[in-house]
Structures are given as structure tokens and as C-alpha cells.
Amino acid sequence: MFLSQLSPEQRHSAVAELGSENFDVLVIGGGVTGVGAALDAASRGLKVALIESQDIAAGTSSRSSKLIHGGLRYLEQYDFKLVREALHERELLVSTLCPHLVKPVGFLFPLTEKFKERTYVGAGLALYDALRGFQRALPWHKHISQRQINEIAPSLRPDIIMGAIKYFDAQVDDARHTLSVARTAARHGAIIATRVRADSLIREGKRVVGVKAKDLVSGKSISIKATVTVMCAGIWSDELHEKFELKAGYGVTMSKGVHIVLPGSAIKSNAGIILKTPVSVLFLIPWGDKWIVGTTDTPYTGDRAEPFATREDVQYILDQANRVLTPKLKTEEIIGVYAGLRPLVANNKGSATTKLSREHTVDRPAAGFVSIAGGKYTTYRVMGKDVIDLAVNQLRKLTPESVTEKLPLIGADGYFALVQQSERIAEESGLDSETISHLLNRYGSMISEILDLIGSQPSLAQKLHKDLPYLKAEVHYAASHEGARTVDDVISRRTRIAFEAINHGVELAGDIAAIIAPVLEWSAKDRRESVTSYEDLVEREKTALDEMLFESEKISS
């Protein structure tokens, strides 16, 4: 009945509907919590709209550690409820809800002492495994000897690492997953509109009955009527509460998390590695043929829209990783860097961000208006359910319970069967099996739409760049089916070229603009402006890093 396609025509239609329909629920915010709330509400049979001022997953939801995990470090804070909840969600995502995007990944917890540390860490990991209940999508932890460590992870220093414990979590392309949740919401009837900014609330007496918004593409104002407005604004929560003249029951403290990306050759290990640091933990995460290493956890009060890594952030990550690695990681090896902001719920603004719980808070500061903040990426579905549970109390009608626990995302249906048919798909499509595997693990059963696109335009079967896995068809598809409206949308979120390619993929911006221009009906001027806009963004990131990563020879001389 409904389509998941987020095309230019769909957006035009969505903006028109925003101003002409009355909605049960209006969601503000296109991060993973917002799209999760929209999916939860739409799948209950409610009439739902979602607006996002930028792109889907433009903020925190595209800048995480790319992990779906229980939060091992929260055991030390005795936050057993959060860990159990997150582990349950991890099992659901790996096995049922999103197996094409959420994959198991093994981690080594290196030990520097033979007995006491092994007992302590082993007990923690035994509890971590036990808290997930009876579902068993991932293996149990196991103890690794020093001899085995030398075989599994030659990069770990044999002079200080006495052994390790291996355990399993899962990883995900966060931006792609968030987009998949949004498209699943659209498939169930939600109206999704990006580049629409909420400016003020519409009130009838003390009750909120909608939002006055602005279409940032056309510049036109829109009055959106809704019985209940749900704000999922993450790090923007405090600013929007103030803008809407609402007194919230919580505040949000921002914590900056920075990651660096390295080539596969930089670390020799067949598993990920987790290290305890003085303030938090550091993950060394395998990412295709590369490594993602992070994260920092520092208080942040700067520009929410563009959090950039600093020289100090990068040096901290290198210093912590190099405590246990040989040879040591070098600045000049770094391919990319990205920074994100965690929205941590806080009552005391002076709290250190590393001490704050990652549990979420749901609030109703006015009749017809609810909001949510906090939590962690892994528990997005629970957060969406909880905020809609509160919202439906405002609807004054019987509403079904949430069904998202048993609702697979688009691409999940039939994925496991397609994996077993991958050789035949490769033969019939004319693509190699490695490319088919790449496509299946990004689109799942929606691979058919990519293959149809290639069938109609064979030139799109070519790779965008010889050193990257992405096909030109994926760039076209980003604009025709996935709501991408700029070069930045494609480079930073529909693909991960922004941190996977040298110089943030600036050299590919022109080629990408050429592919999406016909889909978006761009003029030559539009193309130039989108490319320039991305180049300017990259230049600002370089400046924030003091050009450390791009002029390492000058720094070392």
C-alpha cells in the first residue's frame, strides 16, 4: 500500500501533505530515535509525519562507534537494567530485525596480569553473557592464552599482554541503519520530509496542536497540525525547549566522541580489541579493510552543527592505542577522522560526562507535546516505543501496543536465503560475487532495486573508484530512493566515503554530483554549489585539526 522510496517526488508530495493533513503524531528529528518513534507510531496504525531540518542521521546517528552493544563499561556502574535491555536489542537486530546491516564482531580484552585481572574481567564478561537471557545469536566469551594471542593479534605487545578474553558484540553502519528505519516507517505510512525546520509551536490555549515549520528548500512556511508532537532532538533538545518556550524536566549534556580511521595494514589482528582507559574505553574495530579506533569522551560546549576533532583528540586516541600495540600507530597512517556528540541526560549541569547514565528520559512539558533524550544507539527501538507509549495517552483513543519487536526493517526479509543464492545472483547479474556480497550487506533483499537500476543503465555497474567498494548505481540510488539531496548526503551518510577515502573523498565530489544531478534535476550551478559546499565543509574540518593529518611531514620536521 505504501512505498519505502524516498525520492524527490516523494519529498514534494510529503511537503504538500504536511500542510494539508491532520496527523495523530508529528515527530521532530530524523536521528535514529526520531525515525524509530515514527516507525513505532506508524506500525500501530497512527497517522504520522516526521520532519528533519537537515538530512536523515545528519548528526549523532551517523557519527557513532558503529557498534550495537550492551555497554560493557556500564557493568562497572552497576547499570544492569541498561545492559540487559541493550543486549536484548542486540540479539533482535542480529537475528531478526536487521541481519543484513548488524553483524557479529569479536573483541579481545587484553590482560596485562595473569590471575587477578583475568578473574575480575572474566567474571564481568560472564555476567555480560548471562544478562542477555536465553537468546543466543552470538557466542559465549572464551579465555585466550598468551600463545594464542600471538597468533590472533600479532600487533598486541607480547612483553606486556599476558593473554586475553574474547567476547562478541555487533557492528553496524549507523547512518544506513537509521535510513533503513526511516524507509521502513515510510513503508508503513509515515510521511517523511527532510530539510523542514520546526520554528514554533501552534497552541490552542495551553495545548500544543502542531508546529509552524519552514521548508528550507522552497523557503515557504508550513502549518502542520497534529494531536501530539513528539520531539526527538538529541543534542538540540535544550535549544528547542527554549525556542518553544517549554520548561523541560531534564537538560542535555553533550559529550564529544572522536574516532580515527586507519588502513587494515596498521593493526595486525583477526579480532577487534577493547582497552580500558583512565576515563572510559577505547575500541579498535575492524571496518571492512580498515580499522576504526575510538572514542574520546569529553565535555563539549561548542557548535552543535559541526563538531570537529582537534589535534588533542587524535593524539589521545593514538596514545591510548599505542600503550599495547607494536608497531605503534602513526599520524601519517590516518585516512579519516570523524566526531560526534552524545546527548546525555543530566539534572546537574556540572556532571562529568563519563559519569552520566546512558538511560533515556521521556518527558511531557505541555499537553500535546512529549520529548525524549539520552539513551544509546543500540536501544533506539525501546526509546521509540517508550516515547510513543506516552504520546498515545494524549490521543484520547484506543491505540494498539507496539509491534516493532517483531517488525523486520526493509531489506531483512529473505536476506539469509539471498546470501545462499549469491553465486547465482552474481552469474545472472554479470557482477562478481564480492560485489554481490557488498550489496547484500548494504541493501539486503532491496538489492533487487540496485540490480534493476543497473539493468536499465549498465554504465552504473562501474565502481565509483577503484579503491572503494561503491558502485555508481549506489550513488544514483541514494538520490532516487534514499532521500539524498546533496553531495554531502551521499559522501557522508549514504556511503561512508567521508572517512574511508583519502582527503574525505573531495576528489570524487564532482563525479558524484554528475550522477545525482539528473535525478535531482539540478542545473550546472546547482552542481557546482553542492560540490563547493562539501569542499568547504572538509576545509573547516582540516582547520579544526590544525591540518595535523594532512601536513604530518611539516609537523614532524
Output the pLDDT for position 348.
44
Topology given in CATH for the domain delimited by 104-170+253-349: D-Amino Acid Oxidase; Chain A, domain 2 (3.30.9)
Please check whether residue 193 is in contact with residue 50, taking contact to mean a CB–CB distance below 8 angstroms: yes
Question: ∠201-181-85 over CA atoms, to 5°?
Answer: 95
Give the residue from 105, 93, 98 showing the smallest Cα distance to 170: 105
From-to residues of CATH 3.30.9.10 in the chain: 104-170+253-349
CA dist 499 and 549 (Å) reads 12
Q: Is 104 helix (H, G, I), strand (E, B) or coil?
A: strand
Output the pLDDT for position 214.
98
Output the pLDDT for position 351.
46
So what CATH class is 8-61+175-250+354-406? alpha beta
Distances (CA, A) of 38 to 29, 100, 178, 192, 303: 10, 22, 12, 9, 27
Would strands 163-171 and 67-68 be described as parallel, antiparallel, or unpaired? antiparallel
Distances (CA, A) of 56 to 227, 271, 312, 420, 492: 24, 31, 30, 32, 11
List the chain pLDDT tens, one digit each, 557 residues: 689 999 999 999 999 999 999 999 999 999 999 999 999 999 999 999 999 999 999 999 999 999 998 877 777 766 777 788 888 899 999 999 999 999 999 999 999 887 777 776 777 777 777 766 655 678 888 898 888 998 999 999 999 998 899 999 999 999 999 999 999 999 999 999 999 999 999 999 999 999 999 999 999 999 999 999 999 999 999 999 999 999 988 899 899 999 999 999 999 999 999 998 888 889 999 999 999 999 999 999 888 988 989 889 999 999 999 999 999 999 999 999 999 999 988 754 544 444 444 588 899 999 999 999 988 999 999 999 999 999 999 998 899 999 999 999 999 999 999 999 999 999 999 999 999 999 999 999 999 999 999 999 999 999 999 999 999 999 999 999 999 999 999 999 999 999 999 899 999 999 999 999 999 999 999 999 999 999 999 998 888 776 555 554 443 33
Please check whether residue 58 is in contact with residue 205, taking contact to mean a CB–CB distance below 8 angstroms: no
From-to residues of CATH 3.50.50.60 in the chain: 8-61+175-250+354-406
Give the residue from 90, 544, 77, 107 showing the smallest Cα distance to 309: 544
Please give the DSSP secondary-structure letter assigned to residue 48.
E
Give the residue from 446, 441, 404, 440 showing the smallest Cα distance to 3: 446
- Which helix (H) or strand (E) segment holds residue 225: the answer is strand 221-231
Output the pLDDT for position 556.
37
CA dist 338 and 66 (Å) reads 12
Alpha helices by DSSP H, listed for 346-379, are none
Burial category of 27 from C-beta neighbours within 10 Å (exposed 0-12, middle 13-18, buried 19 and up):
buried
Output the pLDDT for position 2.
86
Distances (CA, A) of 436 to 392, 423, 475, 502: 43, 8, 16, 25
Cell of 385: 516505543
